[in-house]
């Protein structure tokens, strides 16, 4: 890149929804303004001068339908008066909206139209019942297919992917990998106080998973509800800055990570995946990001990948090239993606454990990598080996349609 770009001062709200003790669907809950403010103020608490922020970008997917509120850029100034009369806008790319907000901020700093950008990702989606929310979320796919799709559209899409995987590689074999992905997610979420499953105290997670067989009569054919990410309200924020931006904000390089590379690719939304048992766009995007960074997966200390469903976790392991097609289930079942494994993934729970406020997920992933690489992850902290100073995020929008991948490096 033509200049060095850094990320720092990450902050998350609680990922709110079923699983949190505080969540009560019968009581009025905070809205978009609350979450944007909480994430934004969490970032500003870590800098010395809010005036040094030149621009704000907000990633969001469907606030126009979940909350009947658009024009989210106008909420930046509610975070702090210093953001009044400065550039602010929102971006959308389904569940990759947060990742696209980060991309927009990186490009502004690269273009030298800003030295410091505040990026926020947010979604508040517990405003409707799950079945109605599924209809809203179906907008992440080609809505023409909604007429033929499952009532729970995206669970149906990834259920179909799982069905092909079962048929090709074996049901029990596949479910063993998906079970371990779920167990990892819950165990990691218990280490992060902001995670939606932080309060999960189930003694035998594997037995719970096995007790809930996929049932197409009550949900979808090939997944149970534990295979699915959460319906979540939440937001995350982080600063994107040049070296000069860090100086103006009063942030030490030791408290930042460097953006080693980024990539964003999009496939034709009107076409079905060429192979349901493969996440092609994730594979291509991650490979491009790694190539631009000049590294291999062997130099990654940790990865945050988009596990909207457990099958997506297995397929991502294969798409990243850790194993061949069909070997992802064994790789996960053997514990190789656990926090003590070869390549720790989703160390605060991922979408299944931490939660999935759709427009916020891409930013939350980067906040987690920033925490891990700077030693700020608290109880979830990994021991990052010196020879693996990099972290990667993979943020997917729709059914492997829009993908953003970032490679971050310890400074």
- Residues labelled catalytic: 95, 356
Exposure letters 34-55 (e unless 16+ CB within 10 A, then b): ebbbbbbbbbbebbeebebbbb
In whole angstroms, give the CA distance from residue 356 to residue 228. Answer: 10
The three-class DSSP label of residue 313 is helix
- Residue the block writes with tokens 């819950």: 186
Q: What is the rounded CA–CA span in Å between residue 310 and residue 330?
A: 13
Asked whether 277 and 315 are in contact (CB, 8 A), the reply is: yes
CA–CA distance, 409 with 390 (Å, rounded to integer): 4
Helices 153-169 and 310-319 pack at an angle, to 10 degrees, of 60
- Give the span between the Cα atoms of 288 and 164, in whole angstroms: 27
Whole-angstrom distance, CA of residue 368 vs CA of residue 371 = 5
Burial class (CB in 10 A: 0-12, 13-18, 19+), 357: buried
* Cβ atoms 309, 185 nearer than 8 A: no
C-alpha to C-alpha distances, 377 to 17, 155, 237, 362, 372, nearest whole angstrom: 22, 31, 15, 17, 5
In the block, tokens 């990001």 appear at 289
Distance separating the N- and C-terminal Cα atoms of the chain: 16
Segments in 242-340 forming alpha helices (H): 243-249, 280-293, 310-319, 328-333
Distance, CA of 198 to CA of 185 (rounded, Å): 10
Quick one: tokens of 236?
């995350």
Rg (CA), the chain: 20
Residue 340 main-chain phi, psi, to 5 deg: -105, 10
């Amino acid at each position: 890149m033509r200049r060095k770009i850094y990320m720092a001062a990450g902050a998350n709200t609680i990922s709110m929804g079923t699983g949190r003790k505080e969540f009560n669907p019968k009581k009025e809950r905070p809205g978009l303004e609350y979450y944007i403010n909480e994430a934004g103020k969490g970032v500003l608490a870590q800098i010395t001068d809010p005036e040094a922020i030149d621009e704000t970008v907000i990633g969001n997917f469907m606030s126009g339908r979940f909350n009947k509120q658009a024009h989210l850029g106008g909420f930046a100034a509610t975070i702090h008066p210093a953001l009044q009369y400065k550039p602010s806008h929102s971006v959308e790319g389904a569940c990759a909206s947060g990742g696209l907000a980060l991309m927009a901020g990186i490009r502004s700093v690269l273009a030298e139209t800003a030295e410091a950008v505040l990026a926020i990702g947010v979604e508040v989606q517990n405003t409707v019942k799950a079945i109605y929310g599924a209809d809203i979320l179906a907008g992440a796919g080609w809505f023409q297919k909604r007429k033929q799709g499952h009532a729970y559209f995206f669970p149906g899409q990834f259920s179909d992917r799982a069905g092909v995987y079962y048929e090709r590689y074996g049901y029990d074999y596949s479910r063993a990998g998906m079970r371990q992905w779920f167990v990892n997610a819950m165990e990691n979420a218990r280490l992060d106080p902001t995670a939606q499953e932080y309060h999960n105290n189930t003694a035998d997670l594997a037995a719970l998973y096995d007790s809930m067989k996929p049932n197409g009569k009550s949900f979808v054919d090939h997944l149970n509800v534990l295979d699915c990410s959460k319906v979540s309200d939440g937001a995350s924020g982080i600063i994107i800055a040049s070296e000069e931006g860090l100086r103006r904000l009063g942030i030490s390089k030791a408290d930042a990570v460097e953006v080693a590379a980024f990539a964003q690719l999009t496939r034709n939304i009107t076409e079905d995946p060429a192979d349901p048992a493969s996440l092609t766009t994730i594979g291509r995007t991650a490979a491009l990001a790694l190539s631009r960074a000049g590294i291999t997966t062997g130099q990654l200390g940790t990865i945050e990948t988009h596990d909207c469903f457990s099958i997506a976790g297995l397929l991502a392991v294969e798409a990243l090239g850790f194993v061949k097609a069909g070997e992802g289930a064994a790789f996960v079942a053997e514990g190789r993606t656990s926090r003590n494994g070869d390549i720790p993934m989703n160390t605060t729970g991922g979408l299944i454990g931490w939660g999935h406020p759709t427009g916020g997920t891409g930013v939350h992933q980067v906040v987690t990598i920033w925490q891990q690489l700077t030693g700020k992850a608290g109880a979830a902290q990994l021991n990052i080996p010196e020879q693996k100073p990099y972290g990667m995020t993979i943020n997917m929008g729709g059914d492997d349609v829009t993908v953003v991948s970032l490679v971050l490096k310890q400074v």
